[in-house]
Amino acid sequence: MDRDSLYRETFPIKGDDFERGGEVATRVKALLQQLGLPRDVIRRLSIANFEAEMNVVMYAREATLEVLVFPDLIRVQVVDRGPGIADIDWAMQEGHSTATEAMRARGFGAGLGLPNIQRNTDEFEVKSDAGVGTTLRYAVHTTPRPKEG
Amino acid sequence: MAEREPAISADHSLCIGCSACTRVCPTRALRVRDKIVQAKQGRCLKCGACIFACKHGAMRAHTSSSADLERFKIRVALPSLVLYGQFGEDVRPGQILRAFRSLGFDLACDISWVCEMVAAASDAYLTDCRGPWPQISMTCPAVVRLIQLKYPDLIPHLVPIDPPCEVAPRVHRGRLAAEYGVKPSEIGMFYISPCTALVDAIERPLGRRPSSLDGAFSISELYGPLLRALRNSPDGDSDEQVSIRGLRWVMASGEIPGMRNVNSISVKGLQDVTYVLDRIEAGRCSGADFINAYICSDGCFSGQLTIAGRYSAQRYLHNIMRQIGDSPPVKEERIRSLLQTHIFDFDDAIIPLPASPPAGDLRQAAARQRQKRELWSQLPKRDCAACGAPDCDSLAGDVVEGEAELTDCPFFRLEQLSRDVPFSKTAACVTRFAARACCPHCNTMLTQGPYLEIAALTPGSERPVRARLSAVVGEIGAKLSGEGPEGTTMQIGCPECGTSLESTERCSLCGAPLARLNLRGGGTYQLCSRRGCGGQTISGPCTSEGLVPLAGRTSDSSQEGS
Ligand SMILES: Nc1ncnc2c1ncn2[C@@H]1O[C@H](COP(=O)(O)OP(=O)(O)O)[C@@H](O)[C@H]1O
Ligand code: SF4
Ligand code: SF4
Ligand SMILES: [Mg+2]
Ligand SMILES: [Zn+2]
Ligand SMILES: [Zn+2]
C-alpha cells in the first residue's frame, strides 16, 4: 500500500524532551497546510499527532512519526522504542493513565490522549510489545466517507 | 481617507541587503533579491520585528502627516496608555494630555476609561459565551492576522470586541462634535500608537468595516515634541479622568486583574503566543477561558514605536498609578447601556487568509512538496540566509515557485564549481573548500593546507608580521590575526616579495579595503583587511585547482545522498 503514496516524510521524536514537545505536530501541520488539505482534516490530524507525540515524550524513549499522503487519506505511523503498553484495553479507556504527578502538573495525564486519537481519526490501531515499544497507526480520510463504528 | 503608504516598508536607499530582517520575520515574508529586501504578498503581519532587526534603519514605519491633521477642523489625539509611562514617574497623565495642545492638536482624550469598558464588555461577552474555549481577545491586530494566516480554525475563538483605540472614537466623536459645534466628520481622531500593527489596522481594517480612526502617529515621533512641550509648560489637566482599572488591564502580565472571569491570562511574545495557539489548536489548552495575546514580548510596552524601555515604562506607570490612587469603577449600568449601542462590537467576520497559494489538486501539491524536499536535500542546511531567503527550506520553496534558483545559495554554487572533482560528487553540499591562492605579483603559492600565509602590518607598528589565517572559504573563523584590537585595518602584503596586496574593491560587510590574491587556475580571492570581519569574495572563472575540497572535514549534518 505504501507504494502509491503521493508523499511521505518521517519526523523523529525524543522521549522526555518536554521542551520541544509538540514541535513535530506543528511541523506536520505546516506540511498539511501546504498540501492544501481541508481544514477539518488538518485539525483532526493535528489533535491526534499532538497526543501521539506527547505520549512518546512522556512514556517512551524515542520514536519516528511518519506521514504518508494518499489520494484519499493521510496515514500516520508512530513507532516508538519504550516500555510498551501493558494493557491496551485499559489504556484506551478515558481517564486511565499512569502519568506521574509531575506530568499532571504540566497539564498532561488526564488519560484522554489515546481515546482522543481514536475519536478524531477514521482508522486507528495500537500494537505493543512489552519492553520493546508501541506502534500507533491511524488515518484520516480526505474525501468524505461514512465513518464506521 | 487619503492613500497612505503601508505601515511598514523598506527604504531601498538604506537597505544594504544584509538579510537580518528575513531571519526574524515570523511568517518568513521577507526575501533579499538583487541586494534589496522585498516582502512576499499577503504574508506580513505588520508585527514590526523587522524594524527592530534592521541596523540600518531601512525598515520604516509610516504614520499620518501634518497634512492629514490639517484636513480636520478639530484634531483629537487618542494616546495609547503606554504613552503615560514614557516620561518618568513625575510626569502625570494630565500633563501629557495637555502637552498635545502645543503639537497642533485641539485636545487629547484619555482612553483608560475606554480600556476599562472594553475589559468589562469582554467580561460580559464571556459570561454569555458558549465557547469554543478559550476565547482570545482581538486587542493585538498582529495576533489576529497570525490567526487568519496560520490558525484559521481558531477564528471562532476570537472575541468580537474591538480594541480600545477603535472604540474610543465612537465614544468621543459625537460628544465632541456637539461640544465644538462641528460635524462629526470634521473631527479628526488620531491614535498615538506604540506599534505598526495598530497603525496598519487603520488603513487595512481586520474586517470590512472602515476604521473609526482617521489616522495615527507613533509615540516615538511625538516623544521629542511632547518632552519639549512638557518642559515649557508643565501644568496639566486633572488626573481624575484616568481609570486605574484601565491602566491595570494594559499592564497585565499573566492573570488579568479586574476581570470577573478569573481564568484570564495575558500571553506575550511571538514564541509564547504560538506555543499557546498550537496547544489550543490541539485541543490541549487547559485552564484559561480568556486569553489576551500580544505579539510583542512585553505587550504594547515593547512596541517598536515606543521610546522608554519596557521595564522602566512599566515601573513608571506603576508608580504613577500609586500616586493617583484608586478611581471608582465604571458603573455597570453604563457598561450595560453601552453594550446595547454595540459600540464595542467588531461587527464583521474575520476571514482566513490563504497561507500559501491554493493547492488545487492534492497530487500536484504533493509533487511540489516532493520537489521541494528534493531541492532542500541538495542545500547545505546552514540556514544562514546568505541566499536572501531566511533559511534553506524557504529557498527550496521559492525555487519550486519559480522565484529563486538553487544557485542563489553561495555554498551550492561553490559545490557546482568543483563538480569535476570526484570527491565532491559523492559528498553532500556540505563540503568545505580551501582557496589555493597565490600572490598576483610573484606568483608564490600562499596557501599551506587549510591556511593562508600573509604579511600583515598593523598601523603604527614598524615591521609587518607573518600572519596565518584560515583559507577555508566561507569559514566564519577566517579572521586576521595580528596586533591591536579587533576592528583594526591592516596592510596586507605578500610575505615573499613584500608587495602590497590591497585591492581597489572594498569589503561588502564592513567597507574596509580587500586584499586581492589570484586563485590557481583562474579567478580571484579577496579577503577583508579588517581584523575580526572575515569578509571574503570569490570571483572569476574558478576551477577545481583554485578551490579544493577539504577531505575528512565535511559536516556530518546530513546523511541524505548516501
Ligand atoms: N507510547 C506509549 N508508550 C508507553 N505507554 C503509553 C504510550 N502511550 C500511552 N501509554 C500508556 O497509556 C496510558 C493512557 O494514555 P493516554 O490515553 O494518552 O493518557 P495520558 O497520556 O493522559 O496518560 C498512559 O498513561 C500510559 O500508561
Ligand atoms: S512586519 Fe513582521 S511579518 Fe511583516 S515583514 Fe516585518 S517581521 Fe515579517
Ligand atoms: S545555506 Fe544556502 S540555502 Fe541555506 S540559507 Fe544559506 S544561502 Fe540560503
Ligand atoms: Mg497521552
Ligand atoms: Zn608576492
Ligand atoms: Zn570586512
ipTM of the complex: 0.86
CA of B453 to the centre of ligand 5 (A): 11
How many beta carbons lie within 10 A of that of residue A22, not counting itself? 20
Interface contact flag, A39 B284, Cβ < 8 Å: no
Kindly state whether residues B296 and B395 are assigned to the same domain.
no
| Full residue range of the structural domain in which residue B84 is found | 66-340
CA of B409 to the centre of ligand 3 (A): 5
Kindly state whether residues B113 and B206 are assigned to the same domain.
yes
Kindly state whether residues B444 and B395 are assigned to the same domain.
no
Strands B524-528 and B502-506: unpaired
Q: Is A97 a pocket residue for ligand 1 (Cβ < 6 Å)? A: yes
Q: Is residue B131 part of a domain?
A: yes
Between CA B547 and CA B550, with CA B549 as vertex, the angle to 5 degrees is 125
How many separate domains does chain B show? Answer: 3
Strands B433-435 and B215-218: unpaired
Kindly state whether residues B431 and B512 are assigned to the same domain.
yes
Q: Is residue B143 part of a domain?
A: yes
CATH code of B393's domain: 1.10.15.40
CA of B47 to the centre of ligand 2 (A): 5
Pocket of ligand 2 (CB under 6 A): B 8, 24-27, 29-30, 39, 44-50
Cell for B220? 516615538
Kindly state whether residues B371 and B275 are assigned to the same domain.
no
Domains and CATH numbers, chain A: 7-141 (3.30.565.10)
Are B432 and B475 in contact, with CB atoms under 8 Å apart? Answer: yes
Q: Is residue B264 part of a domain?
A: yes
Q: Is residue B36 part of a domain?
A: no
Alpha carbon dihedral B168, B170, B171, B177, in 10-degree steps, equals 120
**pTM of structure:** 0.77
Q: Is residue B421 part of a domain?
A: no
- Residue B446 to residue B538: CA distance in whole angstroms: 16
- Residue B82 to residue B310: CA distance in whole angstroms: 9
Kindly state whether residues B498 and B534 are assigned to the same domain.
yes
Kindly state whether residues B281 and B370 are assigned to the same domain.
no
Kindly state whether residues B332 and B233 are assigned to the same domain.
yes
* Alpha helices per DSSP H over B268-421: 270-281, 310-324, 332-340, 362-378, 392-400, 410-417
**Domain termination site, one of B340, B365, B386:** B340
- The answer to whether A25 faces chain B, any CB pair under 8 Å, is yes
- The answer to whether A121 faces chain B, any CB pair under 8 Å, is no
Q: Is residue B53 part of a domain?
A: no
Tens-level pLDDT at each residue, chain B (562 residues): 445 678 898 999 999 988 999 999 999 999 999 888 999 888 899 999 999 999 999 999 999 999 999 999 999 999 999 999 999 999 999 999 999 999 999 999 999 999 999 988 998 899 889 989 999 999 999 999 999 999 998 999 999 999 999 999 999 999 999 999 999 999 999 999 999 999 999 999 998 889 999 999 999 999 999 999 999 987 776 666 788 888 988 887 666 776 776 688 899 999 999 999 998 988 777 678 899 999 999 999 999 999 988 889 999 999 998 888 877 777 778 877 887 888 888 877 888 887 555 656 899 899 999 999 999 999 999 899 999 999 999 999 999 999 999 989 988 888 776 554 333 333 334 456 788 899 999 999 998 877 888 888 877 777 888 887 777 776 543 455 555 667 778 888 998 998 999 998 888 777 888 899 999 888 888 888 887 777 777 777 677 788 777 764 433 333 333 3
Are B344 and B212 in contact, with CB atoms under 8 Å apart? Answer: no
Q: Is B387 a pocket residue for ligand 3 (Cβ < 6 Å)? A: yes
Kindly state whether residues B360 and B327 are assigned to the same domain.
no
Cell for A74? 493521510
Q: Is residue B8 part of a domain?
A: no
Kindly state whether residues B88 and B187 are assigned to the same domain.
yes
DSSP state of B489: B
Residues on chain A touching B367 (C-beta within 8 angstroms)? 6
Kindly state whether residues B121 and B265 are assigned to the same domain.
yes
Q: Is residue B368 part of a domain?
A: yes
CA distances from B480 to A39, B179, B471, B495, B533 (A): 55, 71, 11, 15, 8
Kindly state whether residues B105 and B217 are assigned to the same domain.
yes
